[in-house]
Amino acid sequence: MATLKPIILRDQAKKSGDCHIFIRVTAHRTVVNIKTDIFVLPDNFRDSKVIGGKNGDRNAQIKNIRISEILTKYEREILDNPTKTDQLDALALKNFLVAGPERYITDFFKFTDARLEQLKKSDKKSTIAFLSNTLERVKEFHKRPTLNFSEITPDFLEQFCAYYLRKDYKLNTVAIYCRYIRTMFNLAIDEYNINIASPVILNYPFRKFKITTEPTQNRNLSIDTIRAIRDFKTISKREEITRDIFMLQMFLAGINIKDLFYLKPAAVIDDRLQFNRFKTGRFYNIKIEPEAQEIINKYKGEKYLFWFADYCMEERSGNSIKHSHKTEFQYANQVAFNKMLNVQLKTVEDRLKLKLASPLTTYWARHSFATVMREIGISKDDISLCLGHINPEQNLRTSGIYIKEDFLRMDVANRKLIDFIIKDQPLN
């Protein structure tokens, strides 16, 4: 346990003879001193106190009160933060006491909350959602208001994973939570452990604990199944929207539903769709082929590219204004829209009697886009380019490849895929 004691260093006396009073910190067999703003003559300091009286320091009482206040403050911070201070050596403890406990947020919950506040300013919505979900899961498992980084051990993580696997969470979902916990560790270490001699975060469980995943389930549709969806005879407006949007995903390089939902008319420039992905921020520049344009025209919106987003929650001026819409087919956000699509895709799957490994969802379009491209001889590099795994802007910086040339490769690959799907048969 750390000890604190007022001292003076006689060999560091000023010309006037006065010495600074220090607080000596002893912890884990290491010693360091914290300088105060109190001075005393060496002869007037005994047994950690300033001596007053006729021949002593005339301000002894005030100085002793001040020393007592400093000691009380430091001792309280140590007692109130045992999980933060118990393992610190004297130098690290000095840094903690001088800077104040608010500087070193070693509580995982508080540190993660602070990180979320930073992310909100950068509008990284996807990361915010995943990190918030991770934080809630850890709180649910831990069941206590605080969680110091030192408490997150390999055993803690093993139990955390077992807890959610017993609750029928997918292994890969639990792995995502663990990755975000690891990210918080890495950020805390980068921020607080600058001085290797006095680290604040003393443990790193991920040296022993290994994050386990399993292969993602195959979500690839055959070309015959894609054509069957294209020709699907709808009996409701929702089914019609669902069929058309699924095919639009195929025609627009496997575009993500969230990106599609929030597109605005300004994203269309010179018959090309230009936008930055929500998930990665990567810039897309997709040529709008006639088949895609036909669907875009069919659902043309005013505020957004598609009318089903025109009265979404993003248009509210405040949380007090409820989401409104002109028709029952306009949605509050992409989550509600995607949920509707997936419900209808299950109906499409059942009526077409598809035998799939898992329920048909919009995510199948992105997987299938890549698979069909490979079947028709598109190179893996060009497929990666279409899916956003290769960034033309990065290519420009690193190898001098012109952005226009890369997007032209995307255009050629996408047109070849559409021709293969359509085969001169018009969309119903």
CA 73 and chain centroid, separation? 36
> Residue with structure tokens 């005030």?
62
Closest by CA position to 416, among listed 363, 381, 362, 375 = 375
CA atoms within 13 A on the CB side of 347: 16
How are beta strands 45-46 and 30-40 bridged, if at all? unpaired
Give the HSE-up count for residue 122: Cα atoms under 13 Å, Cβ half-sphere: 13
- As a three-state string, the secondary structure of the chain is CCEEEEEECHHHCCCCCCEEEEEEEEECCEEEEEEEEEEECHHHEECCEECCCCCCCCCHHHHHHHHHHHHHHHHHHHHHCHHHHCCCCHHHHHHHHHHCCCCCCCEHHHHHHHHHHHHHHHCCHHHHHHHHHHHHHHHHHHCCCCCEHHHCCHHHHHHHHHHHHHCCCCHHHHHHHHHHHHHHHHHHHHHHCCCCCCCCCCCCHHHCCCCCCCCCCCCCCCHHHHHHHHCCCCCCHHHHHHHHHHHHHHHCCCCCHHHHHCCCHHHEECCEEEEECCCCCCEEEEECCHHHHHHHHHCECCCCCEHHHCCCHHHCCCCCCCCCCCCCCCCCCHHHHHHHHHHHHHHHHHHCCCCCCCCCCCHHHHHHHHHHHHHCCCCHHHHHHHHCCCCHHHHHHHHCCCHHHHHHHHHHHHHHHHHHHHCCCCCC
Under 8 Å between Cβ of 149 and 203: yes
* pLDDT score for 124: 67
Residues found in the chain: 428
With contact defined as beta carbons under 8 Å apart, do 335 and 307 qualify?
Answer: no
Whether this model's pTM surpasses 0.85: no
User: Regarding beta strands 19-27 and 49-50, do their DSSP bridges make them parallel or antiparallel, or are they unpaired?
Assistant: unpaired
Instruction: Give the bridge partners for 40, in sequence order.
Output: 19
Distance separating alpha carbons of residues 116 and 130, to the nearest angstrom: 10
Q: Return the pLDDT at 352.
A: 94
Kindly list the distances between the CA atom of residue 363 and the CA atoms of 218, 232, 257, 367, in Å, as whole numbers in the listed order.
11, 19, 9, 7
Amino acid at 257: I
Closest CA to 261 of 361, 348, 358, 362: 362
Angle between helices 363-375 and 380-387 (to 10 degrees): 160
Integer Cα distance of 46 and 48 in angstroms: 5
Neighbour tally for 198: CB within 10 Å = 19
d(CA 255, CA 195): 45
Q: Which residues contact 335 (CB under 8 A, 6 or more apart)?
A: none
Residues of the chain whose pLDDT is less than 50?
A: 390, 392-405, 426-428
Please report the pLDDT score of residue 396 as a whole number: 37
- Compute the radius of gyration of the chain from its Cα atoms: 32
Q: Counting Cβ atoms within 10 Å, is residue 155 exposed (0-12), middle (13-18) or buried (19+)?
A: exposed
Task: Please tell me the distance from the alpha carbon of residue 288 to that of residue 266, in angstroms, as a whole number.
Answer: 14
